[in-house]
Amino acid sequence: MYQHDRCGPHRSKKVKALLNANDVTVLSWPAQSPDLNPIENIWGIMKRRLRIMPKYPTTAEELFGQPCEIWNSLPDDYFIKLSHLMVQRCNAIKTLVVNLVNIARYVNL
């Protein structure tokens, strides 16, 4: 099973062909949803830290090095915490969907 946020590169013909060739089920997922996509939390941290870097990159090495430095500075515990929170977030969404279905049934009666 694979989850992505439907950005252009993820929807390319080559990616679709690769996923299909490997029988990968793709989850339907909203774009840029930090509640449902933990990487969005990390991108947010990285963007904020890049904005306050004391020096703008002037070489290709710096351009690619700064994000790598930020990524590597994030503690492993942060990634673990985000992954554990996903269980809670998915359960909350499941409860919300069940409640919405029940409300819809009640209203249609």
State residue 32 phi and psi, 5-degree precision: 45, 50
Q: What is the pLDDT of residue 27?
A: 76
Q: Say what the pLDDT of residue 109 is.
A: 59
Q: CB burial class (10 A; 0-12, 13-18, 19+) of residue 37?
A: buried
Mean pLDDT of 36-49: 87
Q: Give the C-alpha separation, 41 to 71, whole Å.
A: 12
**Mean pLDDT, residues 15-40:** 80
Q: Which long-range contacts (CB under 8 A, 24 or more apart) does 74-83 make?
A: 74/42, 74/45, 78/42, 79/42, 82/38, 82/41, 82/42, 83/38
Q: 40 versus 30: which is more confidently predicted? A: 40
Is pLDDT above 70 for 32? no
**pLDDT(29) > 80:** no
For residue range 49-99, list pLDDT tens digits in order: 999 988 888 999 988 999 999 999 999 999 999 888 888 888 888 888 888
Q: What are phi and psi of 105, to 5 degrees?
A: -65, -45
CA distance 38 to 65: 23
